[in-house]
Amino acid sequence: MEVIPLSGIYNPRVGGDVVIGYVVDIGLTGWVIDIKSPYSAYLPVQEATLKPVDLTTVDLKSLLGIGGDIVLARIVDFNLTKDYPVTLTLKEARLGRIEGGTLVEIDASKVARVIGRRGGSMVGIFSEELDCDVTVGQNGRVWIRCKDPGDETFIARIIKLIESESHTSGLTDRVRSIVTQYKEKKVGTKAQGSSTSS
């Protein structure tokens, strides 16, 4: 039996955890990142870019700025003896600065439910039915990217529904049904619009 906690804070884990964080400060050698955890996170400049950076000539604000820049990063170190216990990296293909899309915040304890069983049965619905890319950070932030911004708003509402009803059974089937109905209604509206204009 799977037990899904109703609430909980995010505790960082090294190796597998991909998180979504906000740039909140800039240090001498990197950025302080808010990862929605009791532990502060740091992104050293050498972990932010594949090319070497000369800290004497480069303004770090030109790479990542405070007050708006968001990153998709992986945790590479967690050491409670450091001022910033969590160390992040962006040096993988799909990691880096987040641009566009919609960001949704959920309780970190509900992340597994939003992803779904078998490594993605729930988020897979959005990809299959609406051709949207949904990236779930282990820290409870979800990045949604769709060709149609209206789909992003719809998926954001569904993700909040999954969060609030994560303890109920048959949720994946219900979500699939809601998404299918939304898609059919959308196709029907488009068809109606084209017949009206012709």
Res. 136: pLDDT tops 90: yes
Burial of 118 (0-12, 13-18, 19+ CB in 10 A): exposed
pLDDT for 53: 80
Which one of 97, 122, 151 terminates a domain?
97
117 belongs to a structural domain: yes
Co-location of 81 and 111 in the same domain: no
pLDDT for 58: 83
The pLDDT-based confidence of 77 (bands split at 50, 70, 90) is: very high
| pLDDT tens for each residue of 28-53 | 899 999 999 999 999 999 999 878 88
Domain, as residue range, for 119? 102-191
Contact (CB, 8 A) for 167 and 117: no
Co-location of 182 and 125 in the same domain: yes
Range of lowest pLDDT (21-25, 26-30, 84-88, 114-118)? 114-118
Burial of 188 (0-12, 13-18, 19+ CB in 10 A): exposed
CATH number assigned to the domain comprising residue 54: 2.40.50.140
Co-location of 124 and 141 in the same domain: yes
* pLDDT greater at residue 2 or residue 137: 137
DSSP output for 28-61: SSEEEEE-SSSS-EEEEGGGT-SS---TTT--GG
Domain count of the fold of the chain: 2
Res. 188: pLDDT tops 90: no
Angle, alpha carbons 8-162-141 (nearest 5°): 55
| pLDDT tens for each residue of 110-126 | 999 999 887 778 999 99
58 belongs to a structural domain: yes
Q: How far apart are CA 90 and CA 74, in angstroms?
A: 7
Q: How far apart are CA 126 and CA 147, in angstroms?
A: 12
pTM here is 0.86
26 belongs to a structural domain: yes
pLDDT for 190: 64
